[in-house]
A and B are shown apart, each in its own frame.
Chain A
Amino acid sequence: EDQVTQSPEALRLQEGESSSLNCSYTVSGLRGLFWYRQDPGKGPEFLFTLYSAGEEKEKERLKATLTKKESFLHITAPKPEDSATYLCAVPYNTDKLIFGTGTRLQVFP
């Protein structure tokens, strides 16, 4: 069964304390892995797409990496404004997009 699992469910960091979020997937024939950020009361906002193992993408304090079984979202020296829920998603069955349940990140000053 195609599945996307994210860990941890929640993460509390002190400002400047780097960490990583994990997204593991069991989709055959991966056609991309997406990371989204979601702020409370808003729709998810696109961050990155990764298409092949070994690929990396960076944006400010965020860096996404991809292996054959999982993806990591590394957060370097986070700031309080990085607090949000981070979602990963993968396409499956031609036309569908399946999401993980997300990691809720809180960064304290």
Chain B
Amino acid sequence: DAGITQSPRHKVTETGTPVTLRCHQTENHRYMYWYRQDPGHGLRLIHYSYGVKDTDKGEVSDGYSVSRSKTEDFLLTLESATSSQTSVYFCAITDLGPHTEAFFGQGTRLTVV
């Protein structure tokens, strides 16, 4: 199995609080992605990174920010959590970009109350 770990695996937080999710990889892959998965919408891209300190927005980036200061870590921050951000969040990595096989983490279930 690819070395990709998400933390925490589960989190309950209150509306208006900041939340940071972490994705850690041991594969030295260049590309890292954050997706959210909701019933009826499938996996939607939030942000992605194509290298250290190189990030860009996906389809549903409003209310989220990311940082990548090291190859192995990609952080997703919800600046002020809202109930609409209740979801399951997945991190994915690829070596050469979106045209190559992606490996996914186990997901983080986030509930905003």
Contact = CB atoms under 8 A, between A and B. Distances in A.
Do A and B interact with each other, yes or no? yes
Interface in A36-95: 36, 41-46, 49, 87, 89, 91-92, 94-95
A99 interface: yes
A98 B45 contact: yes
Nearest to A95: B50
Main secondary structure of the interface of A (DSSP, over half): strand
Contacts of A49: 100-101
Contacts of B74: none
Interface string A19-44: 00000000000011010100001111
A43 B25 CA distance: 15
A95 B30 CA distance: 11
B43 A96 contact: no
Contacts, number: 63
B64 interface: no
A41 B90 CA distance: 11
Interface residues of A, number: 24
Interface in B13-47: 31, 33, 35, 40-45
A32 to B, nearest CB: 5
B43 A99 contact: yes
Nearest to B101: A46
A44 B105 CA distance: 8
B48 A43 contact: no
Interface of A: 31-32, 34, 36, 41-46, 49, 87, 89, 91-92, 94-102
Shortest 8 CB-CB contacts between residues of A and residues of B: A43-B104, A91-B98, A101-B42, A97-B98, A99-B43, A31-B99, A32-B99, A91-B99
